Structure 1
């Protein structure tokens, strides 16, 4: 499935009509839950986030940006990995810097997405590193000191470019909840998990499970294709709808078609495109 997502129960079909419904909210005890607005005429918002930007994914993500703009989503939250899998640093790639600068000017929210986006594990973490993700849960069990060190290394790109940095999202959404306090101390405005959006200074959580896809195996693509229309129905009138895309998602025609249909349906249902940073400041 998508990095860090749960394998859903089977059911549903993208050709079925979408019906309104309210999925069961899941709320972490220490945080306040936002109201599920969107009912009675309240404004609803759609955040599309593009994950795993690095020099090797730049061209695919540039195509995603173009396609989404044509579909009515002019701005996205762009999740940037400073040094993908310990390879070439994003800051050292002129084409990547040019693209990110252009997206900053266009109003995108540039998000810190880990540092290396890689964690190799042994048998004790086999589920997380080989089944749940593909060696990608970098912040799964880092000490607070190591997590802070990697975040500080990663944010240097933003400091050097003079870009605002509002959000940190851990690879695969996997990070100990105790480290929310670390993110607050480091000055971040928000973070997300698979099913939550958290405004850190207020310790406020909005329950909203992200639509997302997994493409690294045919069976995962099939399950994703079946599950996401079901999830859209379950989310019903949530005032925050999240769509998280990875670099390969639009490369598969059947997924590309469904993603565009979901975006068009969300816009027709009254969702307004927004970035995570803008949403957190509302």
Structure 2
């Protein structure tokens, strides 16, 4: 039996309502979530131990979910090769903060986020970069900080062994020109891989809930994966 992972992205104080909505949908289906927390100042002050978000996250961990780090503040740093700037803007809409980043900045910001999460009582073992874009420098820093895994658009990377698990991450681009086509593609790819017993990942974003039809399309894809017999899991369990 193969597997699928559902991740809730951009979890932050400002998106608690949307994260909770997605979480309830998954709980109704018995699907655990990997909750990707933006610990730095993004749309609101930084994540703080003891705040409403931290309380909710502890409840979800007790319910079988995973807390993972999702960068620091979702804002790309200036500089870097021109092609990296273009790729980051197109693929991640300007939030690819770990795609063109200097080592000391990566260590400082990722370390700060890890410190906040640990102060709140969490021990994240993974870091999914915003936009799934991480430079080799970033991956080296993740190893130094003793993260166990990272992810890209196509793979889950075990940072300890170097093992790469191939599983495309499917998500929507709400508000973009290709929103309608993307909505159909997510469902088709998930169904096709599930029918062939191949692993797949489904990424949920807060903005998806504000666009007609995206929530329903995503839940249909999750239901299709379950009906095909794929096993829902978290990233942490995959690399355990």
Superposed CA deviations along residues 163-182 of structure 1, whole A, max 9, x for unmatched, are: 22110111111111353232
1:216 Cα deviation (Å)?
A: 2.9
Q: Where does structure 1 lack aligned partners over 5 or more consecutive residues?
A: 1-42
Matched residue of 2:101: which SS? coil
**Contact between 2:190 and 2:224, CA under 8 Å: does it hold in 1?**
no
Within 1, Cα distance between the matches of 2:191 and 2:26? 22
Matched residue of 1:91: which SS? coil
Report the equivalent of 1:68.
26
**Contact between 1:121 and 1:129, CA under 8 Å: does it hold in 2?**
no
Within 1, Cα distance between the matches of 2:73 and 2:50? 16
Task: Indicate the larger mover: 241-250 or 86-95.
Answer: 86-95
Asked which structure has the greater CA Rg, the reply is 1
Superposed CA deviations along residues 207-246 of structure 1, whole A, max 9, x for unmatched, are: 11111111033x2321211221332255353542210111
1:100 Cα deviation (Å)?
A: 1.4
**Contact between 1:120 and 1:135, CA under 8 Å: does it hold in 2?**
no
Mapping for residues 145-184 of structure 1, pairs under 5 Å: 145-184=104-143
Instruction: State whether structure 2 residue 69 is matched by structure 1 residue 112.
Output: yes
Query: Matched residue pairs, number?
Result: 237
Instruction: State whether structure 2 residue 177 is matched by structure 1 residue 252.
Output: no
1:84 Cα deviation (Å)?
A: 3.8
Mapping for residues 238-249 of structure 1, pairs under 5 Å: 239-249=198-208
Within 1, Cα distance between the matches of 2:47 and 2:179? 29
Report the equivalent of 1:24.
none
Report the equivalent of 2:193.
235
Within 2, Cα distance between the matches of 1:106 and 1:159? 19
Instruction: State whether structure 2 residue 91 is matched by structure 1 residue 101.
Output: no
Within 2, Cα distance between the matches of 1:243 and 1:112? 17
Within 2, Cα distance between the matches of 1:112 and 1:216? 26
Task: Indicate the larger mover: 131-140 or 186-195.
Answer: 131-140
**Contact between 2:193 and 2:199, CA under 8 Å: does it hold in 1?**
no
1:144 Cα deviation (Å)?
A: 1.6
Report the equivalent of 1:77.
34
With over 3 angstroms needed to count, the CA separation of the structure-2 counterparts of 1:251 and 1:71, relative to structure 1, is farther
What CA RMSD, in Å, does the superposition of the two structures yield over aligned residues?
Answer: 2.2
Per residue, is there more helix in 1 or in 2? 2
With over 3 angstroms needed to count, the CA separation of the structure-2 counterparts of 1:136 and 1:102, relative to structure 1, is same
Mapping for residues 1-282 of structure 1, pairs under 5 Å: 43-73=1-31, 75-85=32-42, 87-91=44-48, 94-119=51-76, 121=78, 124=82, 127-217=86-176, 219-235=177-193, 237=196, 239-281=198-240
Q: Where does structure 2 lack aligned partners over 5 or more consecutive residues?
A: none
Within 2, Cα distance between the matches of 1:180 and 1:190? 9
TM-score, length-scaled by structure 1: 0.77
Higher-RCO chain (CA-CA 8 Å, sequence separation at least 6): 1
**Contact between 1:104 and 1:163, CA under 8 Å: does it hold in 2?**
no
With over 3 angstroms needed to count, the CA separation of the structure-2 counterparts of 1:148 and 1:120, relative to structure 1, is closer
